[in-house]
Amino acid sequence: MIDQSSYGYVYDLAGNLIKKGNRYSIRNNTVTFTATEGEGVEYYAYEYNLQNRLARVKKNGEIVAEFRYDAEGMRIKAQEKLEEKQSTRTTYYIYGYSGKVLLEESRESVSPELSYASYIYAFGKTFAKIDGIIGVSTEITYFHYDNLGSTKLMTEQDGKIVMEQDYLPFGGDLPKVGQVEVYNEIGMEYKYTGQNEVVSIGLYYYGARYYDPAIGRFITEDTYRGEMNNPQSQHLYVYVINNPLVYTDPTGNVRAYFADSTISYPEEETESNEQVINPRSNNNTHIERPNTSYNPITKSLKSFGEIAKGFWSAADERRKRAFDSPYDFANYMTMGILDLGRKSFGQ
């Protein structure tokens, strides 16, 4: 039996979610939506651009969100319908080199005034939000995180709490004990693992993809195909190999450990396990790269490097012995040819 709280999902040939609804039937492995509007109906249609990025979302036939991206695929504009305010908000995003949002410029359809939000970072984390432009506004709220980097609490300068909540393991909102719903007086949208929640469509923006916390899945396939020795990582939609209590996903592509309160730097590259820092992610996350064999070109370059080290080491030894004897001087001047001859003829 299919109840009204369950959803049917339809994907295109590229693996993108294109339809989702709570009025549907299933026959011969085919999902058919029986209603797309009306009371109690939730029906979403998703459209994508040529970069395979989510461009438009419709709910019950009405556009509720539209997005634009730059050449690198980073979202630079979002237009959302705000049901509570009966208005539409348009937001432009400005990023720093690390891929973090530095400034947001917003305007709502019911008001011609522009509003700004600036963000300050410390040790790879969002430290504070300024309601305005840095150096002009003094209205500051501070972020407080849990062990995964999710926003648990926000306070004003005088310590007043303006946002407080817990989270379900895969990112769903969980009110604190004694609350009927989460307390979010300022409408903060940077929440689960520090990612941006798009309230109008119920998804989180993770950079490379959008994530649905209700089912713990991304709505499009991962471009990274996973690890041969870890079948869980080969699932193209699953969130952090179904282990959200340990991992986060800073970019929407690869799981990572979140290093609480400290900055973690990558270990030295080895053939068995490489670890890298992604420039689009937090500076305090170890991003795992699969245990795959090196590219043969990389191996060759490393081999040449070892040969060069050996050559210069031997040359330095010959230089140190150059004046010990006529033989050593001649060997130094001929770059070790005498030693090579002695080894070749067994002398």
| pLDDT tier at 137, thresholds 50, 70, 90 | confident
Tokens describing residue 257: 């450990």
Q: Is the pLDDT of residue 52 over 90?
A: yes
- pTM of this structure: 0.75
pLDDT at 189: 96
- What confidence category does residue 24 fall into, taking pLDDT thresholds of 50, 70 and 90? very high
pLDDT value, residue 110: 87
Q: How far apart are CA 55 and CA 78, in angstroms?
A: 9
* pLDDT of amino acid 269: 37
pLDDT score, position 259 = 58
pLDDT digits 0-9 by tens, 272-299: 344 433 434 444 444 444 444 445 555 5
* pLDDT of 290: 43
For helices 326-333 and 337-344, angle between their N-to-C axes, nearest 10 degrees = 110
Under 8 Å between Cβ of 155 and 128? no
Asked if 252 contacts 207 with a C-beta cutoff of 8 angstroms, the reply is: yes
Task: Please state the rounded mean pLDDT for residues 246-262.
Answer: 78
* Mean pLDDT of the region 179-201: 94
Residue 200 has pLDDT above 70, yes or no: yes
| Average predicted confidence (pLDDT) for the chain | 83
For the ranges 192-196, 233-237, 249-253, 280-284, the lowest mean pLDDT is seen at: 280-284
Question: What pLDDT shows up at residue 138?
Answer: 87
CA distance 244 to 108: 35
pLDDT tens for residues 146-164?
Answer: 999 999 999 999 999 999 9
**CB-facing half-sphere around the CA of 61: CA atoms within 13 A:** 5
Q: Calculate the alpha carbon distances from 235 to 29, 85, 224, 328 in Å.
A: 20, 39, 10, 64
Cα–Cα distance list, 274 to 226, 242, 315 (Å): 14, 22, 33
Where does the pLDDT of residue 265 fall: very low under 50, low under 70, confident under 90, or very high at 90 and above? very low
| Contact status, residue 219 vs residue 212, Cβ threshold 8 Å | yes
Q: Kindly write down the DSSP assignment for every residue of 20-77, as one continuous string.
A: EESSEEEETTEEEES-SSSTT--EEEEEE-TTS-EEEEEETTEEEEEEEE-TTS-EEE
Sign, CA torsion 288/292/296/300: positive
Q: Per-residue pLDDT averaged across 114-124, rounded?
A: 93
